[in-house]
């Protein structure tokens, strides 16, 4: 399996195991089959496992926790995400910490390698913010800069997460200065 440098994670496999199938999002399967998939992926050289609480309401993270018994093999990295949307500023850090804590409990781990904000970061005055679903999916740029990014940096400094990033770009000009780590 070829690998590439991935920021602070060092080298990771060119292929990633996505957690959607492990969370049974695309059809029913058994937990045993999901665990076997995780173990086979690791045995085949896949070193990055991309997860999220929303993948089967935590099933994907639980599967990985069971597969490895809370002890990731050398070189295996896990990610998780949080769909923050337009959470009020006073609730942002609590929501991020709760999401991470719940993911770590399911994974039986004490640290996530990468934690992604899974919301679209958009200009504060972006017309899409008027869409009825916007509050759930979109984080205003000013909220990201003033509240979300500093909270993520604190989580890195505390060692709860190794790094952070963005998965929901939303509007390129908003994310250009986001400086994910």
Residue 159 pLDDT greater than 90, yes or no: yes
> Which CATH architecture group holds 3-175?
Alpha-Beta Barrel (3.20)
Helix/strand/coil (H, E, C) string of 60-72? HHHHHHHHHCCCC
| pTM beyond cutoff 0.85 | yes
Render pLDDT for 73-108 as a digit per residue (tens, 0 to 9).
Answer: 999 999 999 999 889 999 999 999 999 999 999 999
Domain parsing of the chain, residue ranges: 3-175
d(CA 136, CA 117): 13
Give the up-direction half-sphere exposure of residue 119: CA atoms within 13 A in the CB hemisphere. Answer: 28
CA distance 107 to 50: 12
């Amino acid at each position: 399996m070829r690998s590439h440098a991935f920021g602070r994670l060092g080298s990771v496999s060119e292929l990633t195991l996505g957690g959607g199938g492990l969370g049974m999002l695309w059809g029913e399967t058994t937990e045993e089959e999901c665990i076997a998939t995780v173990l086979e992926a690791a045995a085949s050289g896949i070193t990055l496992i991309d997860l999220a609480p929303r993948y089967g309401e935590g099933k994907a993270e639980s599967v990985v926790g069971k597969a490895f018994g809370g002890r990731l093999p050398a070189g295996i990295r896990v990610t998780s995400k949080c769909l923050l949307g337009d959470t009020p500023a006073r609730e942002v850090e609590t929501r991020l910490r709760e999401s991470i804590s719940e993911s770590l409990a399911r994974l039986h781990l004490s640290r996530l390698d990468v934690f992604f904000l899974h919301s679209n970061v958009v200009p504060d005055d972006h017309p899409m913010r008027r869409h009825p679903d916007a509050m759930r999916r979109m984080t205003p740029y000013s909220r990201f800069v003033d509240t979300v990014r500093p909270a993520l940096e604190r989580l890195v400094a505390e060692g709860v997460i190794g790094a952070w990033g963005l998965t929901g770009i939303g509007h390129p000009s908003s994310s250009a200065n986001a400086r994910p780590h």
